[in-house]
With several copies, the nearest count.
Chain A
Amino acid sequence: MFFCIFNRIQFFQTMISKKVNSVQQALEGITDYMTLLVGGFGLCGIPENAIAELVRLNVKNLTCLSNNAGVDNFGLGLLLQKHQIKKMIASYVGENAEFERQMLSGDLEVDLIPQGTLVERCRSAKMGIPAFFTPAGVGTEVAVGKEVRTFNNKQYLLEYAADADFSLTKAWKGDEAGNIVFKGTARNFNQSMCGAAKINVVEVEELVPLGALDPNEIHVPGVFVQRIFKGEKYEKRIEKLTLSE
């Protein structure tokens, strides 16, 4: 609580707290058939603790929108193993053999979307833009059934905002007010997804005190976050270790 003087009148005021104490609390309300936005690029910046909890909850028939589908035994691959995902909306799924098996056998519905369109659809949901035009996919099977319009002699497709029940994202540091910052390329889809769903859950490596984050450097202000928690542990698996020597 901070004590402030506002125009000669005194009032107590502090931030709205978004902190929950466990991944269980954070994921409360996720049920079968829901649509989830899941942050990360490959295995970089994925919400490891939330995914582990989804496995434990054993919710089924999920629709997951995520850039990738993890690898066979990590990331969203863990949900695929247990057949918890009914439909996957992604841009690249090349690192997951189980995924390919389920897709080719018809067990898994798959919607492949250009990466820039995928993230812009999340951003649009977050920002209250119902639809936008983008050139990605014009003239390809991605364009089938979509409105095409020409602006300045170039063709564009009309794409729609994503619609999701929960977003599950991962940040580096965050505070009780829900403000978060990312590190390196672990930012990727997390920034746009956080705020794009009805309930936005973010897990962080470090919860810092209010005021510890520079207000100029916050990547997602707390208004977009409904629940924030400190992840218990992070494996941060590296997909393709590449060294210079």
Chain B
Amino acid sequence: MLTKEQIAQRISKELEDGFYVNLGIGIPTLVANYVPEGINVEFQSENGVLGMGPFPTKEQVDADLINAGKQTITTLPGASFFDSELSFGMIRGQHINLTVLGAMEVSQSGDIANWKIPGKMVKGMGGAMDLVASAENIIVAMMHTNRAGESKLLKQCRLPLTGVNCVTKIVTNLAMLTIEKHQFVLQELAPGVSIDYVKGVTEGELVISNNCKVMEF
């Protein structure tokens, strides 16, 4: 089983030199900690910054400088600020190469639900609907099951959708899976996790890749 940090670390291997990356709130944000050496990526935050750096020291804190999760940030030399209009232009126009976000449910068709639990939680979709409707390369970072132990990888999402047919890859605490032809394809297992265990907690159609292997770090 992977920790949240390890999920982020596994996802960081999907980063390629020259990628512009949008990281969602939660586990996705941690991906920035694991950029492989020797490759350059730039992090975009949809509230209007490209070229985010580390979190600030106490002295560097600036109230006018936050990320989409409302956390204080810094920028690297060569960064740029822009307004929300241009920011979502980048997203909608597919200028961002990789989007990583969390989810409450993902379906075997690549549908994703992460913004609303009717009658219980209504936080809003923020920029997630724009991101999933536009990005060509979407990775979901999440736990394989919810707090009640139920699978979050479903035949069909039960919660209101954020987007349809858009997720291409999922990294959970148990496995890395791709979505192909309306099936989850098990590509990699977390160390110490068995195929049968993943099968048991995956409600959607699951096929095992011929090249299925144990994740390496």
The residues of A with any CB-CB pair to B shorter than 8 Å are 2, 4-7, 9, 11-17, 41-45, 67, 90-95, 100, 103-104, 110, 112, 114-117, 119-120, 122-123, 125-129, 134-142, 172, 175-177, 179, 182-192, 195, 210-211, 215-216, 218-219, 221-224, 236-245
The total of Cβ contacts below 8 Å across the A-B interface reads: 282
Taken residue by residue from 64 to 76, chain B's Cβ proximity to chain A (1 for < 8 Å, 0 otherwise) reads as 1111111111011
Shortest CB–CB separation between residue B120 and chain A, in angstroms?
Answer: 9
Q: What residues on B are CB-neighbors of A134 within 8 Å?
A: 92, 130, 133
In contact, B127 and A115 (Cβ under 8 angstroms): yes
In residues 68-110 of chain B, which contact A (Cβ within 8 Å)?
68-73, 75-96
Note all chain A residues with C-beta closer than 8 A to B75: 215
Q: Please, which residues of chain B bring their CB within 8 A of the CB of A224?
A: 90, 95
**Residue of A with least CB distance to B32:** A6
Evaluate whether A14 and B78 lie within 8 angstroms (CB atoms) in the complex, with A127-B92, A189-B83 already known. Answer: yes
A4 interface neighbour in B54, B80, B93, B111, Cβ under 8 Å: B54
What A residues does B70 contact at CB under 8 A? 41-44, 95, 239-240
Closest 9 CB pairs of A and B: A128-B92, A211-B77, A116-B88, A94-B123, A127-B89, A116-B130, A139-B164, A6-B54, A191-B83
Q: Are B80 and A218 in contact (CB under 8 A)?
A: yes
Q: Let me know if A41 and B47 touch, CB within 8 A.
A: yes
Q: Is B122 an interface residue (CB 8 A)?
A: yes
Residue of A nearest to B124 (CB): A92
Contact between chains at A123 and B85 (CB < 8 Å): yes
